Amino acid sequence: MNIKKTFKFRVYPTKKQESLLEKTLEECRWLYNYFLNERKTFYEITKKTPSKYDQMKNILELKKTRPELKNVPSQALQNVAVRIELAFQAFFRRCKIPGEKPGYPRFKGQGRYHSFTYPQNNNSFKFVENNRIKLFKIGNVKIKKHRDIEGNPKTCTISRTPTGKWFVCISCDNVPVTPLPKSKLEVGVDMGLKTFAVMSDGNKIDNPMFFKQEEKALGKVQRKLSKQAKGSRERRKLKKVVSKIHERVRNKRSDFLHKEANKVVDKYGVICVEKLLINKMIISGKKKKLSKSIADASWGTFLSLLSYKAENAGRTLVKVNPAYTTQDCSECGARKPLRLDERVYSCDVCGLVMDRDLNASVNILSVGTHTLASA
């Protein structure tokens, strides 16, 4: 069995290479805005939208009026049309969802276009000697290649973080799985806020609340930032400080989620989790002031990591409907509504007294194993 996998590496361009990368991003940003405006104007006149292929055909003509586009790889420019297409597909999909604000695709301001892509591996990128990666029209860029890539490299995306760091993401297919030794252990996992996750065997993962730890420092810097004049040197410095705080939170959270997901996958052969609609939970959580805590917990990222790590390790991951897993008694099945502040489940029928999250995780395991058995 083979899977798709993306390998991410830090790159260290020289000043000249960094200038080329930034110019490439700027030209891609300009083209993105041009294509977006073209679609908007075309629709207002004809009530139709040009396809990505129609827009790709115009790139040659645009190079005559904007020579700077000639310095950008043609494939990277074509990929901009693909991104516009995807943005509109997402917009039209959101339009069909009742009660959701669609959010029309936005124009990209200066400095707000952060990546470009080589969509095909036709020698547009390749690893070369002395820890370098050769990027078409950029040159041989120093790379921190901390691991070997596997499978067949298909696409390469170069991105810049708000703090000025550069990364290369290489997407590969036909990556062979590396199964772990078989495990007969089965587990249900209930996601929470007070405790990040509770396992059906009683194990718990504490919620580190990384954003909450940095919230005071972030607020202090943001207040200073709001007082600075737009375009001033001090404002640019403070914006970078804000970006560094967010990056620190993101790195801590990513490290935590990867390590905890690895522990679960290493131990259990069957992993049952809830199929959560996290975006809707964040929107509804605003009324109860829970949206920030839900976003900080990053359940979605954790469940995604569990999914691909389980697939790579030969484990079985089952997603179950979370309906009533908290309200049903894991012993007799009786249903009892609970308020959010009730942390102990006490069954009025069979007398079971159990932590509400542990009760939910046992129910998740029960539903998951039943789903597997009937599949």
| pLDDT tens-digit series, residues 311-343 | 999 999 999 999 999 999 999 999 998 888 888
CA distance linking residue 126 with residue 124, whole number of Å: 7
Query: Would you state the pLDDT for residue 340?
Result: 82
Q: Is 134 exposed, middle or buried (0-12, 13-18, 19+ CB in 10 A)?
A: middle
Catalytic residue among 27, 190, 260, 296: 190
Residues above pLDDT 90, as percent of the chain: 82
Q: Which of 5, 1, 305, 8 is nearest to 172 (CA)?
A: 5
pLDDT band at 36 (very low <50, low <70, confident <90, very high): very high
Catalytic residue among 186, 274, 296, 328: 274
Say yes or no to pLDDT of 84 above 60: yes
Q: Which helix (H) or strand (E) holds 196?
A: strand 195-199
Say yes or no to pLDDT of 210 above 60: yes
CA distance linking residue 214 with residue 25, whole number of Å: 31
pLDDT band at 59 (very low <50, low <70, confident <90, very high): very high
Catalytic residue among 186, 260, 296, 357: 357
Query: Would you state the pLDDT for residue 3?
Result: 87
What phi and psi values does residue 7 have, to the nearest 5 degrees? -110, 125
DSSP letter at 195 equals E
Query: Would you state the pLDDT for residue 7?
Result: 96
Q: Point out the least confidently predicted range of 190-204, 229-243, 281-295.
A: 281-295
**Over residues 189-198, mean pLDDT:** 94
pLDDT band at 80 (very low <50, low <70, confident <90, very high): very high
pLDDT band at 285 (very low <50, low <70, confident <90, very high): low
Query: Would you state the pLDDT for residue 320?
Result: 94
**Over residues 151-167, mean pLDDT:** 96
What phi and psi values does residue 324 have, to the nearest 5 degrees? 65, 5
Q: Point out the least confidently predicted range of 172-176, 286-290, 308-312.
A: 286-290
Confirm if 366 and 330 have CB atoms less than 8 A apart.
Answer: yes
Confirm if 172 and 153 have CB atoms less than 8 A apart.
Answer: yes
Mean pLDDT over each residue of the chain, to the nearest integer? 93
Residue 327 backbone class (left: φ over 0; alpha: ψ -120 to 50; beta: rest): alpha
**Over residues 133-146, mean pLDDT:** 96
CA distance linking residue 141 with residue 224, whole number of Å: 37
**Over residues 219-224, mean pLDDT:** 96
* Domains, the chain: 2-176 (no CATH), 186-374 (3.30.420)
Q: Which of 30, 26, 22, 27 is nearest to 164 (CA)?
A: 22
Helix (H, G, I), strand (E, B) or coil at 335: strand
Q: Report, in angstroms and rounded to the nearest whole number, the Rg of the chain calculated over CA atoms.
A: 25
Active-site residue 201, yes or no?
no
**Over residues 300-318, mean pLDDT:** 94
Active-site residue 341, yes or no?
no
List of residues 6+ apart from 59 with CB closer than 8 A: 31, 69, 74, 77, 78, 81
CA distance linking residue 158 with residue 113, whole number of Å: 11
**Over residues 123-148, mean pLDDT:** 95
Query: Would you state the pLDDT for residue 286?
Result: 57
Active-site residue 274, yes or no?
yes
Query: Would you state the pLDDT for residue 224?
Result: 95
Q: Which is more confident, 327 or 280? A: 327
Instruction: Give the CA angle between residues 150, 131, 17 to the nearest 5°.
Output: 110
Query: Would you state the pLDDT for residue 327?
Result: 93
